[in-house]
């Protein structure tokens, strides 16, 4: 993790946010906050009753206003912005993003094609930066503090986009970013299905995170050392998290999921294969805190790390 930053939003200057090499801590994050009422409700309950400490808010989600209203009632929830450049709606109007979105303001759907498009067309970067800034400003305009940035389908780690994310984090005084470095060996030990795609994706994101870590360090940002949720996306079940607890390594691990109280029409439209109710049950499972304590793992969040 980075050790220094210049904090904005009136938080002063942090000089140290690192753990001892022997210490193990974990951050639980819910992504897609604002996508649906079923997901919003799961975030609130998992924060009140379970281990969930962070939520990543979609600035233009169908139920973002409701998510913001909930967040105001949950002062302990560490809020971040779930930067969206794919599979979602833009904040800015289509005329402000003529080369980036459809006439209805929608981003592309396919991750691979979109990633190549953003790489091959650097002329899109000014529009991308304006849209990302607008998404951050929507959340800040709510009056809620923003502590971390990540991306929908982790597109923020794209080599063209991550430098913009780092620049915006510094500009808006947001202290932390997500790095998606997942140990595919650990994941396969717990979920051995589809090994080749998991290994390939794990290696690709490991390469992306090498450069991203250098940029984040140079900017004085805080970031997680390890991550789970990428390779077993949508299946962070009670059994999986309980199996993961004793396997966590020294440093800070972020575990993200997409919990929901039920699978409503909006959630079904985007990811019908996700086991969202099981992911919610995992976050409130009474056995999980005991398993983490037994493994010597403390629960933290990006706010605590940034202010330590």
The DSSP element (H or E) to which 298 belongs, if any, is strand 297-300
pLDDT computed for residue 22 by the predictor = 66
User: Sign (positive/negative) of CA torsion 128, 163, 18, 291?
Assistant: positive
Q: How many domains does the chain have?
A: 1
Tokens of 184: 């595919």
User: Could you read off the pLDDT of 125-148 as tens digits, one per residue?
Assistant: 999 999 999 999 999 999 999 999
How buried is residue 10: exposed, middle or buried, by Cβ count under 10 Å (0-12/13-18/19+)?
exposed
User: Could you read off the pLDDT of 245-297 as tens digits, one per residue?
Assistant: 999 999 999 999 999 999 999 999 999 999 999 999 999 999 999 999 999 99
pLDDT band at residue 20 using 50, 70 and 90 as cut-offs: low
CATH code for the domain in which residue 223 is found: 3.20.20.370
Region 220-232 average pLDDT: 98
- Residue 7 pLDDT > 80, yes or no? no
**Contact criterion met (CB below 8 Å) for 7 and 37:** no
- Residue 14 pLDDT > 90, yes or no? no
User: Could you read off the pLDDT of 145-154 as tens digits, one per residue?
Assistant: 999 999 999 9
Range of the structural domain that residue 249 is part of: 5-307
Region 235-248 average pLDDT: 98
- Residue 220 pLDDT > 60, yes or no? yes
Partners of 298 in the β-ladder: 25
């Amino acid at each position: 993790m980075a050790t220094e930053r210049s904090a904005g939003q009136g938080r002063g200057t942090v000089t140290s946010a690192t753990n001892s090499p022997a210490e193990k801590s974990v951050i639980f994050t819910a992504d897609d906050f604002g996508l649906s009422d079923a997901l919003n409700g799961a975030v609130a309950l998992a924060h009140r009753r379970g281990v969930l400490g962070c939520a990543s808010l979609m600035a233009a989600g169908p139920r973002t206003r409701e998510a913001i209203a909930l967040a105001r009632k949950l002062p302990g929830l560490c809020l971040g912005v779930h930067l969206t450049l794919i599979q979602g709606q833009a904040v800015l109007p289509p005329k402000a993003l003529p080369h980036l979105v459809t006439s209805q303001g929608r981003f592309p759907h396919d991750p691979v094609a979109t990633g190549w498009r953003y790489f091959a067309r650097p002329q899109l970067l000014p529009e991308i930066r304006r849209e990302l800034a607008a998404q951050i400003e929507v959340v800040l305009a709510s009056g809620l503090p923003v502590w971390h940035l990540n991306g929908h389908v982790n597109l923020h780690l794209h080599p063209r986009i991550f430098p913009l994310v780092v620049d915006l984090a510094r500009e808006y005084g947001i202290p932390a970013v997500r790095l998606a470095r997942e140990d595919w060996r650990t994941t396969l030990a717990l979920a051995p299905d589809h090994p080749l795609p998991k290994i390939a994706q794990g290696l690709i994101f490991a390469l992306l995170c090498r450069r991203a870590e250098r940029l984040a360090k140079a900017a004085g940002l805080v970031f997680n050392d390890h991550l789970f949720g990428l390779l077993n996306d949508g299946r962070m079940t009670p059994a999986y998290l309980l199996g993961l607890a004793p396997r966590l390594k020294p440093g800070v691990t972020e575990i993200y999921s997409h919990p929901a109280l039920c699978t409503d029409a909006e959630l079904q439209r985007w990811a019908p294969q996700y086991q969202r109710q099981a992911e919610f049950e995992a976050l409130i499972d009474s056995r999980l805190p005991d398993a983490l304590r037994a493994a010597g793992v403390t629960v933290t969040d990006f706010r605590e790390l940034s202010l330590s």
